[in-house]
Structure 1
Amino acid sequence: PLGRPGRTRSVRVKGDWLVALPAGLSSRNAMIIGTAGFTAMLCVMALEDAGIRPQDGEIVVTGASGGVGSTAVALLHKLGYQVAAVSGRESTHGYLKSLGANRILSRDEFAESRPLEKQLWAGAIDTVGDKVLAKVLAQMNYGGCVAACGLAGGFALPTTVMPFILRNVRLQGVDSVMTPPARRAEAWARLVKDLPESFYAQAATEITLADAPKFADAIINNQVQGRTLVKIK
């Protein structure tokens, strides 16, 4: 049923909702990428559209051990960016380093912020929202861009207009659901080209369909890193 497709073996949808599997991408790897990886690619493209280049400075990725964050770290590293990954769990540090993070920051460092802080980041990919996003905005370089795609930490945004009107910072929302077909196709083509082959082994944990409820609880409790691939048969 369309209302609850997460654990079904097949789903009927409108044809124009679908994107053809790109050449060079297996169905298994496409599912490892999933919506999270697709969203990460859209975020990277948003930074590129804003003119953010590797030579401009560090990119900070919040919620870095999650599905979107993990893929973003791997993509940015492959494209030549210096990546600072934000994580709330020390156990993920080795994993994030293996994906290409140059340094790891504790989530606790982003708990509180002033309207403006020292300029640190050329760009940012935020999956958390709330106080973390407010802190990132306050630390952006002049002319920087934040691609915001998540609200894992809350939907509020306790910030001021100061980063925008004094530092020319751009806050770019990223939505994966209603992305136009041409942009979807471009993002998937980029994923085939820009996502390292090593990512699929590093980021994916394979489980059975029977394991799904247990892993769903673990995901909700922030006990899972990367992507979880459900093997149907």
Structure 2
Amino acid sequence: MTSFNAFRIHLEADGKVRSGIESLHLDELSPGEVVIEVEYSAVNYKDALAGTGRGRILRQSSLIGGIDAVGVVIDGGATGFAAGQPVVVTGCGLSETRDGGYARYLRVPADCVVPLPDTLTSFQAAALGTAGFTAALAVQRMEDNGQTPAHGPILVTGASGGVGSLAVDLLAGCGYEVHALTGKPDRSGDWLRTLGAAQVVDRHALDYGKRPLEKALWGGAVDNAGGETLAWLTRTVRPYGNIAAIGLAGGVELNTTVMPFILRGVSLLGIHSVDCPSALRRHVWSRLAGDLRPRHLEAIVQETVDLETLPRVFEQMLAGAVQGRVVVRVGV
């Protein structure tokens, strides 16, 4: 097989990160039973952290970036995956412990690979990617724990980001009243209402309060912030509501008390999409192609870029200048 381009990230001895386009061969990729020709990937916040070195994502000295990959199998070995079969891979250590999707070819273990549902195109699957899968996994876990629209409005924090915007769309499509919390209401407010938000809440206008229990406002929440915002949510979610904790953009500390959990029965659900069991991973993707299929995916995709454009997108994303999803054109 001839050489191909890949966006590779290197951890230097001084702790700095160097990244860019390199020419590689298939035998240089991380091991795995399934070889995939990648068509599309995407840019997630985690990708921006890895590619710029602003976050210690890589656990190897050198890896291809990209935690999402969508394409077709070219060699499935004895795994049951057939050549030419469309598939999607998210998480599973891509760009952390093994080479990721920012390359023409990807080699991964079979249990990381999900057959692409017939009703999704490769582009649509990449537009969903880790962000859509994570948002859908949050909905799945909340509903498994009894969440229904009758509990009251769901607050989505970090609503203008990839996970947040998709969560707004998915939840509204399931009949929930969605309130979107954002620090950019002037720029993103109308767009979030288009996705299904019943109300847009200005993060800068919030009064977090200091009491162990504040007024119960939300039937549940999908939280991308962590830190002070997540602590406030524990104090303001209604009895027997669920909080799906997804992100930590606002900090890793959680300063709260046990009172919301023992006096209101609030449940805090951790959403970990990287090592999701294979059966659950396939089930969630089937829902993304079915009852959880977003209604406004075209509006959520803000840009489609090539590998060469990634450094610019990374900087914009970390500066908070990107809303929705950015798809990466790899092999098409």
Whether TM-score is above 0.5 comes out as yes
Q: Which residue number corresponds to residue 152 of structure 2?
A: 57
Partner AA of 2:107 in structure 1 = R
Deviation at 1:4, TM superposition (A): 2.6
Q: What is the DSSP-based 3-state SS (H/G/I as helix, E as strand, rest coil) of the residue aligned with 1:39?
A: helix
* Larger strand percent: 2
The unaligned stretches of length 5 or more in structure 1 are none
> What is the CA–CA distance in structure 2 between the aligned matches of 1:130 and 1:25, rounded to whole Å?
35
1:103-142 per-residue CA deviation (whole Å, 9 max, x = no partner) reads 0111124463322110011111111100000111110101
> What is the CA–CA distance in structure 1 between the aligned matches of 2:237 and 2:205, rounded to whole Å?
15
Larger Rg belongs to: 2
Q: Which residue number corresponds to residue 137 of structure 1?
A: 234
Of residues 191-200 and 126-135 in structure 1, the stretch that sits farther from structure 2 once superposed is 191-200
> What is the CA–CA distance in structure 1 between the aligned matches of 2:195 and 2:281, rounded to whole Å?
24
Q: Which residue number corresponds to residue 210 of structure 1?
A: 308
- The answer (yes or no) to whether the contact 1:73–1:100 under 8 Å persists in 2 is yes
- Choose which of 175, 196, 199 in structure 2 pairs with 1:103: 199
Paired residues in the alignment total 233
- The answer (yes or no) to whether the contact 1:130–1:157 under 8 Å persists in 2 is yes
* Larger helix percent: 1
Determine whether 1:171 maps to 2:268: yes
Q: Flag the 1:109–1:142 CA change in 2: closer, same or farther, 3 A.
A: farther
> What is the CA–CA distance in structure 2 between the aligned matches of 1:5 and 1:63, rounded to whole Å?
24
> What is the CA–CA distance in structure 1 between the aligned matches of 2:294 and 2:148, rounded to whole Å?
23
> What is the CA–CA distance in structure 2 between the aligned matches of 1:138 and 1:24, rounded to whole Å?
41
Deviation at 1:195, TM superposition (A): 4.2
Q: Which residue number corresponds to residue 167 of structure 2?
A: 72
> What is the CA–CA distance in structure 2 between the aligned matches of 1:198 and 1:184, rounded to whole Å?
21
> What is the CA–CA distance in structure 2 between the aligned matches of 1:26 and 1:224, rounded to whole Å?
24
Following superposition, which runs of at least 4 residues in structure 1 exceed 6 angstroms of deviation? none
Q: Which residue number corresponds to residue 140 of structure 2?
A: 45
Q: Which residue number corresponds to residue 64 of structure 2?
A: 4
- The answer (yes or no) to whether the contact 1:110–1:131 under 8 Å persists in 2 is no
Q: Which residue number corresponds to residue 221 of structure 1?
A: 319
Q: What is the DSSP-based 3-state SS (H/G/I as helix, E as strand, rest coil) of the residue aligned with 1:11?
A: strand
Determine whether 1:181 maps to 2:181: no
Q: What is the DSSP-based 3-state SS (H/G/I as helix, E as strand, rest coil) of the residue aligned with 1:33?
A: helix
> What is the CA–CA distance in structure 2 between the aligned matches of 1:88 and 1:148, rounded to whole Å?
18
> What is the CA–CA distance in structure 2 between the aligned matches of 1:141 and 1:14, rounded to whole Å?
42
Q: Which residue number corresponds to residue 37 of structure 2?
A: none
Partner AA of 1:85 in structure 2 = A
Deviation at 1:8, TM superposition (A): 2.2
- The answer (yes or no) to whether the contact 2:169–2:294 under 8 Å persists in 1 is no
Q: What is the DSSP-based 3-state SS (H/G/I as helix, E as strand, rest coil) of the residue aligned with 1:194?
A: coil
> What is the CA–CA distance in structure 2 between the aligned matches of 1:159 and 1:206, rounded to whole Å?
41
Deviation at 1:200, TM superposition (A): 2.1
> What is the CA–CA distance in structure 2 between the aligned matches of 1:155 and 1:44, rounded to whole Å?
22
The unaligned stretches of length 5 or more in structure 2 are 1-28, 31-62, 67-101
1:23-64 per-residue CA deviation (whole Å, 9 max, x = no partner) reads 211111000000011000000111111111112210000011
- The answer (yes or no) to whether the contact 2:215–2:236 under 8 Å persists in 1 is yes
Deviation at 1:95, TM superposition (A): 1.2
> What is the CA–CA distance in structure 1 between the aligned matches of 2:195 and 2:231, rounded to whole Å?
26
Q: Which residue number corresponds to residue 119 of structure 2?
A: 24
Partner AA of 1:223 in structure 2 = A
Q: Which residue number corresponds to residue 209 of structure 2?
A: 113
Partner AA of 1:9 in structure 2 = R
Q: Flag the 1:197–1:55 CA change in 2: closer, same or farther, 3 A.
A: closer
Name the % identity: 43
1:122-176 per-residue CA deviation (whole Å, 9 max, x = no partner) reads 1111111000001111101011110111111111111111111111111011110
Of residues 101-110 and 23-32 in structure 1, the stretch that sits farther from structure 2 once superposed is 101-110
- The answer (yes or no) to whether the contact 1:111–1:132 under 8 Å persists in 2 is no
> What is the CA–CA distance in structure 1 between the aligned matches of 2:173 and 2:236, rounded to whole Å?
24
